[in-house]
Amino acid sequence: MENPTKPANQAVQHKWKNLILPTVMLFIAGAAYGGITSANKLAMSAEFPFVAYTFWVALISGFVAGVMAILKRDIPKLTLAHIRQYTFLAVASLILPVMVLASVADKIPASILTLILALVPGLTYSLAFLFKIEKFKTLSAMGIVVGAIGVLVVVIPEGNLPAPKSWIYVMIALVAALAAAASNVGAKLLRPPESGSLSLVSGILLTAALGLLPVVLLTDGMVSFTDYGSKAVWGIFWAAGIHVVTFYCFLEVIRQVGAVFFAQFNYIVTISGVIWAMIIFGESVSLWTWGALIIMLGSVALINLSASRSLN
């Protein structure tokens, strides 16, 4: 007689096998994107203009993704739906976040900037609730409040920031987190059309570069990525690599297992960002910052728990 639990066990094993690749990609994306504030700071420490910096990051990463897409015969599409998607995600997920973070990169520690990214899940839920995509959930609301407390732990204690008025730059950096949250909600509302991940990555990044080109010409002129020395070059290519890897993993993980699973990305980014800042710049992290890290991870945990319960 066949064991009735065998099919159920096999189904569970199959489910776990299907999670192996997305889990690996999740950790790769998180470890990579955790370095974005350090890459920004590296380029900004060479006094590279941040608008030109964002342009070169978008152009180089978009070109690399485009070559890879062509080699896979996954040509970026130019339908109206695709162009609309490219444009919105280019502004919300790259131009605004990178320009904002780059503009304050030399004003506050990279480790603290990374903590701001932990607020993205809470802000995403807030926007989703505002646009009636999500219903009110107590755990999610608690997560938002806890995340706000984490920000206050960073900006209020004296000596945690490099200068008395550095809290202003922390508030400016919040725009990057809000833009990232808007890109998450916008991607949901726009219902991205079927397309290969590499072609989507290339389309988004090259659209960002195209949109930034006139701004660069008007503000900084045609600045070459080699004009400000090796630090700037390393920062630009590091950030470009981060965007190719992160955007590809983001689209693939969402395609395979959904957005709720990918939300765990924020755990890894927050932790890896602090570690990158310690390794590259030797930043000493205060007890207040470690406390804020723990609080913000608690915020992300509450929001992810709420999302997982909504699926059951």
**What's the rounded Cα separation, in Å, for the pair 162 and 110?**
12
pLDDT tens-digit profile of 89-145? Answer: 899 888 888 778 777 877 777 667 767 776 777 777 777 778 776 677 777 677 767
Residue 203 maps to a domain: yes
Residue 14 maps to a domain: no
Is the per-residue pLDDT at 78 higher than 80?
yes
Residue 7 maps to a domain: no
Residue 174 maps to a domain: yes
Say what percent of the chain tops pLDDT 70: 74
Collect all residues with Cβ–Cβ distance below 8 Å to 32 and sequence separation of at least 6: 241, 242, 245, 246, 249
pLDDT score for 162 = 59
Give the pLDDT band of residue 263 (cuts 50, 70, 90): low
**What's the rounded Cα separation, in Å, for the pair 167 and 107?**
10
The per-residue DSSP string of 62-111 comes to HHHHHHHHHHTT-PPP-SHHHHHHHHHHHIIIIIHHHHHHHHTTTTS-HH
Give the pLDDT band of residue 8 (cuts 50, 70, 90): very low
Is the per-residue pLDDT at 88 higher than 50?
yes
pLDDT score for 20 = 77
pLDDT score for 163 = 62
pLDDT tens-digit profile of 59-75? Answer: 999 999 999 999 988 88
Domain range for 112 is: 28-311
Give the pLDDT band of residue 5 (cuts 50, 70, 90): low
pLDDT tens-digit profile of 170-185? Answer: 788 888 888 888 877 7
Residue 9 maps to a domain: no
Is the per-residue pLDDT at 273 higher than 60?
yes
pLDDT score for 164 = 63
Is the per-residue pLDDT at 202 higher than 90?
yes
Say what percent of the chain tops pLDDT 90: 15
Is the per-residue pLDDT at 14 higher than 50?
no
pLDDT score for 242 = 94
Residue 13 maps to a domain: no
- Choose the most confident range, by mean pLDDT, from 27-31, 133-137, 291-295: 27-31
Mean pLDDT, the chain, rounded, equals 77
pLDDT score for 206 = 95
Residue 97 maps to a domain: yes
Residue 277 maps to a domain: yes
Q: Count structural domains, the chain.
A: 1
Report the pLDDT averaged over residues 10-24: 62
Question: Which two tokens mark 21?
Answer: 């690749």
Q: Are 76 and 69 in contact (CB under 8 A)?
A: yes
Report the pLDDT averaged over residues 159-179: 74
Give the pLDDT band of residue 6 (cuts 50, 70, 90): low
